[in-house]
Amino acid sequence: MKRRHFLRNTVAGAAGTIVLPTIVPSSVFGKNAPSNKINIAQIGCGRIARGHDLAETMEYDVARVIAVCDVDRNRMADGKKLVEDFYSKKLGEKYMDVKMYEDYREMLLNKDIDAVMISTPDHWHSQPAIEAALAGKDIYLQKPTSLTVEEGRQLSDIVHRQGVILQVGTQQRSSPQFRIAAELVRNGRIGKLHTVKVGLPGDPSGPEAPEMPIPDGLNYDMWLGSTPEVPYTEIGVHPQQGYGRPGWLRREQFGAGMITGWGQHHFDSAAWGMDTEYTGPISVEAVAQFPKFGFWDVHGDFMVKAEYENGITMYTSGGFPNGIRYEGTDGWIFVSRGSYVASASDPVDKEKSSKALDASDPEILNSKIGENETHLYVSDNQHGNWLDCIQSRKEPISPVEIGHRACTVCLVSHIAMKLSRKLEWDPTAERFKNDDEANSYLSRPQRFPYGTNYVLK
């Protein structure tokens, strides 16, 4: 089926509806299978999918992963084996035959699939999420929500129009210390909040990288997607052996570096405590170092200052401990992942001894939130909350609009790094004030036939 026909049929079938999970046919799981399972397909079978999204989701009995998709056939086959081995061990030999797709658009035509998890490189987040929403699928989307503000707005609007459940993978919301910190701040335990300091490291410049032959089994043109065509080199994509930290994370063509990589996690958590989840800063300014040599081109050391209409100023820099420090008139609270390290090569490795929750006075942390005070959304697992909300149709803990707003802080901060001057931001219009150059960074050219603009034509 041609792409244009697929999109037209998908939109026509999904427009204006709220899609409920389908009843799973008995032929899929056997005659004794329960009928309330959520059939899930995995888009992207790399490091995050294997170690996080698939691993956590499959632990829930209500979930059944029935399909995998990847533009790298070797990774797709590994993904199929991972899922089948899990279910064989848990439920019996040959319990499931997981279907493989090289093109997620074909996969979205499968009416047995209720939901998708998108664990692709950052430049492939918004487009498949929009197409999944148009196809009536519920979505778990890894952060960053988008690589441009325009794409993020398109995604949020489509998800709301279609009525699908989208959970953003900002899983710090499901870690109790981040909720506790935000509740204490929101309820005035450190007095009036005036300053927030976000610790976020940069990336190194890296080695030179010569052009290499495209590996067999990798659809490199589709992997590039809407971004410009550039020569293939392994450290610019992902390892051909193993599932170590991929090199695309340090290339601006595919991601903005740590400001979006970990930035959306921390800005999302900070906004929870600042009560700015559905807005953004009114000004942003930054300084940053960018590599002068080597293959990597994302930012290194940096400092961003963002001012909010409610009087709070947020500073972000690698010079602060990795995490979030709320400072008020009566004290401070610091929150982080503690000993969590994403991988051995991750820049946050030096922070492995950080406390998960700390305060200027330990008694602040023992304070109880009263019945009539602000109580924030409680979730003990990001994937489990998503599955619950698919069944209940309630809003998840990390809905798309909150994700878009947190991602926008990342993106306008990155623009400020590039321009090295103070920018006035209108969070309602989602435009910079009187600055055509800055506004030119709110979208990117998209290489046909890929990109959100072509989906929504």
What is the distance between the alpha carbons of residues 214 and 237, in angstroms, rounded to a whole number?
A: 11
pLDDT at 339: 64
Query: Which residue, among 59, 17, 61, 54, has the nearest Cα to 38 in the 3D structure?
Result: 61
Length, in residues, of the chain: 457
What is the distance between the alpha carbons of residues 387 and 282, in angstroms, rounded to a whole number?
A: 36
Longest dimension (CA), the chain: 65
How buried is residue 355: exposed, middle or buried, by Cβ count under 10 Å (0-12/13-18/19+)? middle
Q: Provide the residue type at 21 as one letter.
A: P
pLDDT at 349: 45
Query: Which residue, among 166, 143, 180, 117, has the nearest Cα to 342 in the 3D structure?
Result: 143
Q: What is the 3-state secondary structure (H, E, C) of the chain?
A: CCHHHHHHHHHHHHCCCCCCCCCCCHHHHCCCCCCCCEEEEEECCCHHHHHHHHHHHCCCCCEEEEEEECCEHHHHHHHHHHHHHHHHHHHCCCCCCCEEECCHHHHCCCCCCCEEEECCCHHHCHHHHHHHHHCCCEEEECCCCCCCHHHHHHHHHHHHHHCCCEEECCHHHHCHHHHHHHHHHHCCECECEEEEEEECCCCCCCCCCCCCCCCCCECHHHHHCCCCCCCCCHHHCCCCCCCCCCHHHHCCCCCCCHHHHCHHHHHHHHHHHHCCCCCCCCEEEEEECCCCCCCCCCCCCEEEEEECCCCCEEEEECCCCCEEEEEECCEEEEECCCCCCCCCCCHHHHHCCCCCEEECCHHHHCCCCCCCCCCCCCCCCHHHHHHHHHHHCCCCCCCHHHHHHHHHHHHHHHHHHHHCCCEEEECCCCEECCCHHHHHHHCCCCCCCCCHHHHCC
- Other CB atoms within a 10 A radius of the CB of residue 448 amount to 9
**Chain-centre distance of CA 351, in angstroms?**
22
Sequential pLDDT tens for the chain (457 residues): 444 344 434 443 433 333 333 333 333 433 334 458 999 999 999 999 999 999 999 999 999 999 999 999 999 999 999 999 999 999 887 778 999 999 999 999 999 999 999 999 999 999 999 999 999 999 999 999 999 999 999 999 999 999 999 999 999 999 999 999 999 999 999 999 999 999 999 998 888 999 999 999 999 999 999 999 999 999 999 999 999 999 999 999 999 999 999 999 999 999 999 999 999 999 999 999 999 988 999 999 999 999 999 999 999 999 999 999 999 999 999 999 986 443 444 444 434 446 899 999 999 999 999 999 999 999 999 999 999 999 999 999 999 999 999 999 999 999 999 999 999 999 999 999 999 999 999 999 999 999 999 999 8
Tokens 């996969």 correspond to what residue?
107
Domains of the chain: 3-172 (3.40.50.720)
pLDDT at 423: 98
pLDDT at 16: 37
What is the distance between the alpha carbons of residues 450 and 3, in angstroms, rounded to a whole number?
A: 10
CA angle, residues 74, 223, 384, in degrees to nearest 5 = 75
pLDDT at 95: 75
Q: Which residues pair with 323 in a beta bridge?
A: 199
Question: ω into residue 396 within 30 of 0, thus cis?
Answer: no
Query: Which residue, among 304, 365, 369, 311, has the nearest Cα to 333 in the 3D structure?
Result: 365
Tokens 């802080």 correspond to what residue?
409
What is the distance between the alpha carbons of residues 235 and 297, in angstroms, rounded to a whole number?
A: 13
Q: 310 and 194 in contact (C-beta within 8 Å)? A: no
pLDDT at 35: 59
Query: Which residue, among 61, 64, 41, has the nearest Cα to 110 in the 3D structure?
Result: 41
pLDDT at 354: 65
